[in-house]
């Protein structure tokens, strides 16, 4: 990659973050528009049971997450050798087409199918963008580079998601999704204009990239991230009814709740990136404790508007800080398969997205109320922390074994 002026470097980083902004908007806007989507696509079910209709509409979110899970390792394995600028541009084109198709699909089933397809480029985009950003920012700043790209996603929760939610509520959820497609079109133009040419890894092979999955520490890190984000999305998916049905706010208050949560995720992302550069594993332990505290706070205080806003802010802050820490951890333990490590983190996080949305829908459909998903998220923190501890144990044992081998080598000579 050629040397860039500071101004050109900032424009390149902003272009990468704009992609994250579009992805965050397309992924999360369904949370705020879930009642509108349910009324439009499931009118009969919505008329008979709001709870069942909302739970079923949550399948849109699960379908997108499933697309991320399927697409991240597949595209990362195949495309690790490709020039990264062109790859990023093609991925944003795919987002544009998938989002337009979602907006124009005539039935609930076809919308779900197109949301799955729209999710396929998600993990690969963030993975490749993180590698490009890391080169732009220089050595020793991987965590901050990851956080910078993810800043677009978190800012989407402050600006993009509330704005598109408001637009969709006043027009149609379909108009909202078309506006998201326009963001991806602008992102494609920005990448082609400002991001420098960036070679792929010439030595990458599908076998080498997939070899990351032979490492137990990789699997444990993925499970840790999935369960941590499962806690966030058990709440986030149903934030609209949590605000209106539990806290008793009018529907127009939902964008405000989303903005507060988004501010938390933006701050948490920055904090998590800095913590990851110091010690990714230590950061994970601290952040799981913070997430458990945040979920407990929300569960206990959600029936009042101040309690709802404080709880949402804390949940967003703690959960989003986990992401750069987990991604940095994956890059530490994945060996040469850096493209795979950078991309597959988002598959894990969206497994959590899908799991949280599904389990939250199950407890709502069972009649346990709209606070119940928060308790589901709290329960997911326990195995998440356990997997983090197991990963730390595996890495520590491996380090000791390598040290013993080095100490024995002089004696063998």
pLDDT in tens, 193-226: 999 988 877 776 777 777 777 888 888 888 888 8
* Residue 368, token pair as written in the block: 């346990």
**pLDDT category of residue 102 using cuts at 50, 70 and 90:** very high
* pLDDT > 70? residue 407: no
**Mean model confidence pLDDT for the chain:** 86
Q: What per-residue confidence (pLDDT) applies to 118?
A: 94
Are the beta carbons of 78 and 206 closer than 8 angstroms? yes
- pLDDT tens digits for range 349-402: 777 877 888 888 888 888 898 999 999 999 988 888 888 888 888 888 776 766
* Residue 250, token pair as written in the block: 């009018």
**pLDDT category of residue 411 using cuts at 50, 70 and 90:** low
**pLDDT category of residue 406 using cuts at 50, 70 and 90:** low
Backbone angles phi, psi at 348, to 5 degrees: -65, -45
Q: What is the pTM for the complete model shown?
A: 0.77
Q: What per-residue confidence (pLDDT) applies to 240?
A: 83
The contacts of residue 344 (CB under 8 Å, 6+ apart) are: 72, 73, 76, 123, 127, 212, 218, 222, 330
* Residue 303, token pair as written in the block: 């029936």
Q: Round to whole Å and give the CA distance between 298 and 185.
A: 37
Give the lowest-confidence range in 5-9, 200-204, 205-209, 228-232. Answer: 200-204
Q: Which of 69-83, 199-213, 239-253, 299-313 has the highest mean pLDDT?
A: 299-313
Count of Cβ atoms closer than 10 Å to residue 409 Cβ: 9
Q: Helix 50-57 and helix 6-41: axis angle, to 10°?
A: 140
Q: Round to whole Å and give the CA distance between 26 and 213.
A: 29
What whole-number percentage of the chain has pLDDT above 90?
Answer: 30
Q: Round to whole Å and give the CA distance between 230 and 233.
A: 5
- pLDDT tens digits for range 263-301: 898 899 888 888 888 888 888 889 999 999 999 999 999
323-347 average pLDDT score: 79
Of 261, 255, 260, 282, the residue nearest 167 (C-alpha): 255
Residue of 324 and 307 predicted with greater confidence: 307
Q: What per-residue confidence (pLDDT) applies to 108?
A: 93
Q: Helix 84-104 and helix 6-41: axis angle, to 10°?
A: 20
* Residue 111, token pair as written in the block: 């919308």
* pLDDT > 80? residue 141: no
* pLDDT > 80? residue 143: no
């Amino acid at each position: 990659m050629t040397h860039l002026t500071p101004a050109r470097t900032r424009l390149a980083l902003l272009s990468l973050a704009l992609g994250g902004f579009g992805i965050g908007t397309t992924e999360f806007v369904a949370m705020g528009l879930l009642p509108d989507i349910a009324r439009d696509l499931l009118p009969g079910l919505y008329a008979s049971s709001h709870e069942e209709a909302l739970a079923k509409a949550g399948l849109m979110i699960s379908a997108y997450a499933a697309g991320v899970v399927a697409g991240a390792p597949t595209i990362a394995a195949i495309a690790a050798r490709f020039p990264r600028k062109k790859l990023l541009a093609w991925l944003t084109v795919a987002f544009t087409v998938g989002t337009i198709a979602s907006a124009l699909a005539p039935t609930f089933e076809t919308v779900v199918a197109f949301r799955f397809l729209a999710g396929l480029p998600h993990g690969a985009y963030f993975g490749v963008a993180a590698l490009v950003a890391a080169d732009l920012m220089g050595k020793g700043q991987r965590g901050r580079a990851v956080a910078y790209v993810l800043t677009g996603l978190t800012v989407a929760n402050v600006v993009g998601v509330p704005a598109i939610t408001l637009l969709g509520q006043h027009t149609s959820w379909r108009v909202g999704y078309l506006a998201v497609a326009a963001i991806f079109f602008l992102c494609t133009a920005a990448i082609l204009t400002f991001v420098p040419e960036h070679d792929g890894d010439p030595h990458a092979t599908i076998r080498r990239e997939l070899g990351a999955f032979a490492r137990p520490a990789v699997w444990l890190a993925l499970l840790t991230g999935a369960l941590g984000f499962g806690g966030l999305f058990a709440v986030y998916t149903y934030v609209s009814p949590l605000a209106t049905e539990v806290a008793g706010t009018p529907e127009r208050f939902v964008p405000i709740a989303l903005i507060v949560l988004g501010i938390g995720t933006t701050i948490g992302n920055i904090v998590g990136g800095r913590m990851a550069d110091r010690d990714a594993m230590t950061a994970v332990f601290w952040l799981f404790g913070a997430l458990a505290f945040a979920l407990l706070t929300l569960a206990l205080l959600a029936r009042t508007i101040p309690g709802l806003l404080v709880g949402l802010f804390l949940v967003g802050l703690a959960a989003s800080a986990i992401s750069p820490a987990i991604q940095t951890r994956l890059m530490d333990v994945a060996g040469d398969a850096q493209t795979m490590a950078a991309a597959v983190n988002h598959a894990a996080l969206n497994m959590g997205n899908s799991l949280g949305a599904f389990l939250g829908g199950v407890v709502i459909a069972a009649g346990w109320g709209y606070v119940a998903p928060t308790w589901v998220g709290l329960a997911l923190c326990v195995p998440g922390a356990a997997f983090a501890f197991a990963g730390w144990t595996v890495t520590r044992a491996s380090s000791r074994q390598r040290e013993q081998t080095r100490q024995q080598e002089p004696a063998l000579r």
